[in-house]
Amino acid sequence: MSRIGKQPIALPAGVTLTVSPSNEVVVKGPKGELKQPIDRDIVVAVNDGNIEVSRPTDQIRHRAMHGLYRSIISNMVKGVTEGFEKKLELVGVGFKASNQGNILDLALGYSHNIIFEIPKELTLTTLTEKGANPIITLQGSDKQLLGQVAAKIRSLRKPEPYKGKGVKYVGEFIRRKAGKSAGK
């Protein structure tokens, strides 16, 4: 049995989970509503305030889906109650970030600014303090969408290993390389 898949998920107060006949899980909570289609063989049930995910057989495909859908549903429950947050830091001279609503304007050392539109499901804030690197904060209830958007922003200028310049996650460790050694 899957170690992750067999763990029950606690259903907090104010959160409802429904499974449609077409096997779509809908989780509603104070921070919104999330939907996720699941495999037709995986069974999701609510018992005594806990969500339990089960599989019919020990086939490789069923075992693979069991833990996956349990984790996805757990992230959905956490998302509609607490929400998720990702912070990105711009390291480099002249790197700037500003926003107007959900439009992110980045100056990353290219000849032009990059205009990036953030999906309406996420909230965006930028913080620029004197003497500190600009910080971009993304918040939302959908962990999958949040991670995908943060990774896309990071891919616009990945941190390089010599000076560490680029867009990185706050707290991310960049492996540094030694540059060219001086002459003889």
The residue among 65, 81, 97 that closes a domain is 81
Cα distance between residue 74 and residue 71, in whole Å = 5
**Confidence tier at 183 by pLDDT (50, 70, 90):** low
- Give the amino acid at 18: T
**What count of residues does the chain have?**
184
**Are residue 55 and residue 114 in the same domain, yes or no?**
no
Work out the mean pLDDT of the chain and round it to a whole number: 92
Positive or negative torsion for Cα 53, 56, 57, 63: negative
**Are residue 65 and residue 37 in the same domain, yes or no?**
yes
pLDDT of residue 112: 95
Cα distance between residue 120 and residue 102, in whole Å = 7
User: What is the count of structural domains for the chain?
Assistant: 2
pLDDT in tens, 10-20: 999 999 999 99
**Are residue 104 and residue 70 in the same domain, yes or no?**
no
Cα distance between residue 55 and residue 1, in whole Å = 9
pTM: 0.89
pLDDT in tens, 74-118: 999 999 999 999 999 999 999 999 999 999 999 999 999 999 999
H or E segment at 154? helix 143-155
pLDDT of residue 126: 95
pLDDT of residue 1: 47
Positive or negative torsion for Cα 87, 150, 75, 140: positive
pLDDT in tens, 56-65: 999 999 998 9
**Are residue 74 and residue 25 in the same domain, yes or no?**
yes
- Show Cβ contacts of residue 50 under 8 Å, excluding neighbours closer than 6 positions: 8, 9, 10, 11
CATH number where 49 lies: 3.90.930.12
